[in-house]
Structure 1
């Protein structure tokens, strides 16, 4: 018998004998394994050693880079709290035992003893401890909530570093809270991870419809080549700003005008049409995330 996965943001089914679906279990393992690298990225972002600025995504703007990234700092604090919090839940669920344990083994006795010992409060060490005990975490009565919170905290931390979400596609903002929605490749729908209605349900959106809506809203807008390339790379497929200038030289694309800095801007719809024609030497336009 197939059941819905109890992880709130998941729309998959699972065998009735499972606690969560295999995809969520695999994603939890990937995110916990990635925490050391993610934590290093957060350190760089917090001290503004990356290219984060207080200006918008498109263009350089007049604002100077900030010496401190508050968003990354808050995301790092939240990730650390979530990881340590669920570690303490696991430690409290067993009776602590004394005795030596193997450095690396599958002995049930060593696993149990290790499970009763709270790790150092360093997020990297905690993530490794949680990964070793992912089985007991998922089997815990609150396991689905733990998976949901850890995945959300890790993704929010990654977004705060301005690193593109891995293996996810942008599906626009939530209508209620305007938070960014990211879906798995091939997903039919995506739900907001922040909003909950009166019935305790999260709002769910059709991925294909929202990406069509975003493209329609962009068609008559005018931007510089880098901004258009970033947007259409996310919504259709990868495209480089230099390709727009190649189209100009071939007489296939005409600038829509100049911006305040005297740089050329283009109508987004014209670029979409050229991408649909297959002139990017790639696949035809495919708006269905597959």
Structure 2
């Protein structure tokens, strides 16, 4: 166990070192800074000049649309300056084959996309909304990646729903289908969730990890509503203003601190209580269709209606 802990610590140190190098490289190569129409937002692009003028216009429009879509639902993230590492591909079978967040002094969205994809297909792809959603929470330890990926997956669907990129029925279908995939993958990847999450890549346990996290937040939403508390989106907005800046760096306790902040904001113990139940569970959570359906309708606590 000690050797494994040391290995994980070494991996995190190397990851941080790589992130620092990435930030240096980002600023040193073909970066263009553009201020968008909103005065509170700046965007820095890397490799934008590798695209033709018409493709540059399309990519800027896509990223601007994605930023504004997330902001309409989640508000402005604490890091209001967006950084994009653009990696256009000549061949791809989908608009955005993959992407990731590179954490460091600044969090950067690395996007691999099909350079000939239409603006409409780029807007309808979920990937950008998922990665932008990661900007609203700090970096978690490997054992808690289920929480990070579950939150981003849940929020991406909320963002797409409320920006009319998907209908209410499509939202329900996507969440239901994802939960079913998670349930099936759990049968192939047995063990406690925190252990499976820590070894997600080696075990190909993405579906279990991501969708158990989604189930966590759906269950939290149900409890918030039952206790007449603000919904998760409202809490995430508040979190940016009160707490996000103080939770920048990765640690074994980062996820707990994040959930404790949500508990303080909601004046409840919902999130930490669920976390204790979820982190070592070996089964897949049971989420009803009615729980999913209620998410398509905005909820306002009675106390805010008075």
TM-score, normalised to structure 2's length? 0.27
TM-score, normalised to structure 1's length? 0.28
